Structure 1
Amino acid sequence: MKRIERKSFGLVILAVTAMIWGGSYIFTKVAVESLPPMLLASIRFGIAVVILFPLSIRRRGSFSTVSHRNAALAGLFGITFYFLFENYGLTMTNASDASIIVSTAPILTIILYDFVRRRFDLFEYVGGFIAFSGLFVIIYSGSFSEGSSVSGNILSFGAAVSWAAYTYFYEKIHNSSIWTTLEVMFWGLLFSVPFAITEVFVFKRPVEFSRSAFFGVLFLSILASALGYILWNKGITLWGGKAATLWVYTIPLFTIAADIVFLKNSPSLLFFVGSILVGLGMVVVIIREFRQSAPLRDRINQ
């Protein structure tokens, strides 16, 4: 395949992945009305693990003890804690607010890396300040928007923090194979099950396997989890990590469109003001990141 064809193919892959992950907020929002949030996460990744196992068994590499530890931590933060915050957040706020707030995760990731390496950049923090000003406006707008709440928006921010930690530990594994993805999902599933059991048997949260929940689980497990991660990793291979990361910022666009069309939610004026500020802050950070010569993984280990 020629270079231009590979780039075009990678572009299509990343766009499809962004659309799938943008739609995942809508399906999660609908599914958590019938299933407890962590039971939904456990079922979702249980099915994804079953799908990925036969695809990855022949591609298993040799991992060190440190790699296994980082995979476990990536699963804890990127799956268990992330979906603990996101799924519970979506029971209190709308999908559009949640997707915009979670899309600040790359900025939080950069801040985390800077803290670890103790090397700080003024432009990154100017962009971060602008983005978080917008984030505050969106969270605050939950007091006035129908279907939104400050509590749900704060939980969504917890998901963004968890994703930043996930990215840090996943990058330290130095392996992007399907088997690595499977191991991270397995650890995340393992840590999530106790929460699901607690929801059902201790807090007696109702479980209703409705038609909407059934289709939601299918979409989230097969498309958003199994296929989504495979496509994302392939897109990174064809475009590179930094260029691929740009597509994270397009996810809210697909979520907002789906939220308006399918759930009939109309974002408030404050939401749009906050979204513009978040977007401006992200642009500043993106421009600065692309001017940096060292890849993200190299920066972690500096």
Structure 2
Amino acid sequence: MTKILQNMQVKYSPTLIANILIFFTMIAWGTSFISTKIVIAEVPPFTIAFIRLAITSCILWPIFRKYEPTTHLNKAGTRRFAITGLLGITIYFCFENIGIKLTTASNASLITSVTPILSITLNMLFCKARLSLCELLGVLLGIGGSYLTITANGALDTASNHFLGNIFVIGSMISWSFYTIFSKKQQSNNSDLAIVTYQTLFGTLFLFPFAVTEYQQWHLFSFSALLQIIYLAGVCSAACYFLYIYALKILDVTLTTIYLNLVPITGVITGYLVLDERILPSQLLGGTMILSAILIANLDKLLKFFRH
């Protein structure tokens, strides 16, 4: 896959390719909330995460060994990948799956809108990043759009049966924000494929003890649930994690995390179509504002691209 992307860069702008790939990634991740909600009716949350990431590991490892047979981990690399695997895989999926079980798929996807605020703040604190005027305007507009999609006419769903789920989803977003920052720092010494593969392996390893605690709930699940898990593993994890890391290398953290706002848009739409969950006019307006934020934040890079 790395060679394919390199060949595409010869013909097209790397920035354009990265924007297209990150767009596809966010659409896929938006649908993952619905797939998880469907599967979680049959399979407990930690077990879903473990099976999903175990399949992902089985996909990534042979590909990694084929294209990078001489790559090996040292002690420092092992520690770094263990930390990012814990943050972006283990903690993230444990919190997210529990949250999706307790709240609606649409509500869970909408809460992901807080991620850009968290990631950009952490990037400024830990990486001393500075925002351009276009990026700042994009972030502010994205925050406004996120507020409309989260609050649903000014009132976030904090009913007793959903509130705890919302808290877990927010926890998963905090973990993801730290994962994004630390993964960015790993790219100077590691290939995209190595990063995704080792993170997934460590994350899956750490998930196993959590899955074992649910052994009393283990039973055979339907073929439909299996197909959903394969989609989550092959597309939403194996392919999309690689594309996310690749785009993170080309785009900065600000632009990449603003794209995460596409996740709630996709989640709300697919939640309505598949699960018959309600969409409010304010949420549609918020989605429009978020799309506009992405364009504004990319304005500098888009102008440079068209000038060339």
- What TM-score range do you get, normalising by the shorter chain? 0.7 to 0.9
State the alpha-carbon separation in 2 of the partners of residues 216 and 131 from structure 1: 30
Aligned in 2, Cα 1:37/1:172: closer, same or farther, shift over 3 Å?
A: same
1:183 aligns with 2:198: yes
Q: What is the CA distance between 1:289 and its match in structure 2?
A: 9.4
Which of residues 119, 135, 144 in structure 2 aligns to 1:109?
A: 119
Aligned in 2, Cα 1:20/1:150: closer, same or farther, shift over 3 Å?
A: same
Which of residues 172, 180, 199 in structure 1 aligns to 2:214?
A: 199
Q: For residues 75-154 of structure 1, what are the structure 2 equivalents within 5 Å? A: 75-116=85-126, 137=151, 140-143=155-158, 149-154=162-167
Q: For residues 224-263 of structure 1, what are the structure 2 equivalents within 5 Å? A: 224-236=236-248, 239-242=250-253, 243-263=255-275
Maintained 8 Å contact 1:26/1:95: yes
Deviation per CA, 1:181-234, whole angstroms, max 9, x where unpaired?
11101111111110100122xxx3354412331111110111111122233344
The residue number in structure 2 matching 1:297 is none
State the alpha-carbon separation in 1 of the partners of residues 236 and 18 from structure 2: 18
Q: For residues 163-178 of structure 1, what are the structure 2 equivalents within 5 Å? A: 163-174=176-187, 175-178=190-193
Q: What is the CA distance between 1:288 and its match in structure 2?
A: 7.4
Q: What is the CA distance between 1:77 and its match in structure 2?
A: 1.1
Which of residues 131, 152, 170 in structure 2 aligns to 1:157?
A: 170
Aligned in 2, Cα 1:262/1:126: closer, same or farther, shift over 3 Å?
A: closer
State the alpha-carbon separation in 2 of the partners of residues 135 and 19 from structure 1: 16
Q: For residues 17-28 of structure 1, what are the structure 2 equivalents within 5 Å? A: 17-28=25-36
State the alpha-carbon separation in 1 of the partners of residues 298 and 123 from structure 2: 12
Taking structure 1 as the reference length, what is the TM-score of the superposition?
A: 0.77
RMSD: 3.6
Aligned in 2, Cα 1:198/1:117: closer, same or farther, shift over 3 Å?
A: same
Structure 2 unaligned blocks of 5 or more: 1-7, 301-308
Which of residues 21, 41, 44 in structure 2 aligns to 1:13?
A: 21
State the alpha-carbon separation in 1 of the partners of residues 22 and 146 from structure 2: 26
Secondary structure of the residue aligned to 1:35 is coil
Aligned in 2, Cα 1:110/1:116: closer, same or farther, shift over 3 Å?
A: same
State the alpha-carbon separation in 2 of the partners of residues 9 and 54 from structure 1: 26
Which of residues 202, 209, 213 in structure 1 aligns to 2:225?
A: 213
Taking structure 2 as the reference length, what is the TM-score of the superposition?
A: 0.76
Aligned in 2, Cα 1:220/1:133: closer, same or farther, shift over 3 Å?
A: closer
1:41 aligns with 2:41: no
Structure 1 unaligned blocks of 5 or more: 292-302
Deviation per CA, 1:77-120, whole angstroms, max 9, x where unpaired?
11111111110111111222111212322321122233336789
State the alpha-carbon separation in 2 of the partners of residues 251 and 22 from structure 1: 4
State the alpha-carbon separation in 1 of the partners of residues 278 and 166 from structure 2: 16
State the alpha-carbon separation in 2 of the partners of residues 191 and 250 from structure 1: 29
